[in-house]
Amino acid sequence: MPGELFHQPEYRRLCTLAREPAILSNDVASLEKEEVRTDTFNSILLLQQEENLDRSAAVETVAALIRREAALRGAEAFHLWFGGFYDWQPNTPRYAGHQTPPTEPAPA
Domain ranges of the chain: 3-89
* Residue 27 neighbours by CB distance under 10 Å: 22
Give percent helix, percent strand, percent coil of the chain, each to the nearest 5: 75, 0, 25
Q: How many Å apart are CA 20 and CA 25, to the nearest integer? A: 8
pLDDT of residue 60: 93
The CA-based dihedral angle spanning residues 62, 65, 71, 73, taken in that order and rounded to the nearest 10 degrees: -110
pTM for the model: 0.56
Check pLDDT > 70 for residue 92.
Answer: yes
Q: What is the DSSP letter of 92?
A: S
pLDDT of residue 57: 96
Q: Pick the more confident residue, 59 or 68.
A: 59
Q: pLDDT tens, 7-56?
A: 888 777 777 767 788 888 899 999 999 889 887 789 999 999 999 999 99
